[in-house]
């Protein structure tokens, strides 16, 4: 191996030892986190208060019963139940003035297709598309 190859190898190895996210698969780690936690998280360009109202409207449209609400200044949780009794948990978090994060977990361990459906209905409510 020539000198350039050895230098490149040492350079790459140093990133690996330092725990560089590129070599650890940062995107995969985030994805694995959501799969393990059972939450589907997305950011929306809307205020926290508008997102909160849209979440309640979406729950109502999908005939989910709100069991508990805890809304604070920058983060809030809504717990609900589906018609079959399975739990639904929404966590809304203000990320910036007009950016809100919505985390959705449907069922005890999370159901990605149902969470994606919820996000789609929520998006339509938040942006007045449906």
pLDDT tens profile 53-66? 999 999 999 999 99
18, 33: one domain: yes
- What residues form DSSP beta bridges with 78? 69, 90
CATH number at residue 79: 3.30.310.80
30, 70: one domain: no
Among 116, 96, 118, 104, smallest CA distance to 48 is for 96
Which residues constitute the domain of residue 44? 38-130
71, 118: one domain: yes
Exposure string over 39-48, b if 16+ CB within 10 A, otherwise e: bbbeebebbb
| Predicted confidence (pLDDT) per residue in 80-119, tens digit | 999 999 999 999 999 998 999 999 999 999 999 999 999 9
Among 117, 66, 121, 61, smallest CA distance to 90 is for 66
28, 56: one domain: no
Most distant CA pair in the chain, distance: 67
């Amino acid at each position: 191996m020539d000198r350039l190859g050895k230098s490149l190898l040492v350079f790459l190895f140093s990133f690996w030892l330092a725990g560089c996210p590129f070599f650890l698969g940062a995107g995969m780690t985030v994805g694995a986190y959501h799969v393990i936690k059972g939450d589907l998280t997305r950011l929306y360009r809307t205020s926290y208060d508008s997102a909160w109202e849209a979440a309640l409207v979406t729950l109502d449209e999908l005939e989910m019963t709100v069991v508990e609400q805890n809304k604070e200044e920058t983060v809030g949780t809504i717990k609900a139940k589906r018609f079959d009794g399975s739990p639904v948990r929404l966590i809304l978090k203000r990320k910036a003035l007009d950016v809100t994060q919505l985390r959705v977990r449907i069922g005890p361990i999370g159901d990605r297709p149902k969470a994606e459906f919820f996000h789609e209905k929520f998006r339509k409510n938040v942006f007045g598309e449906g």
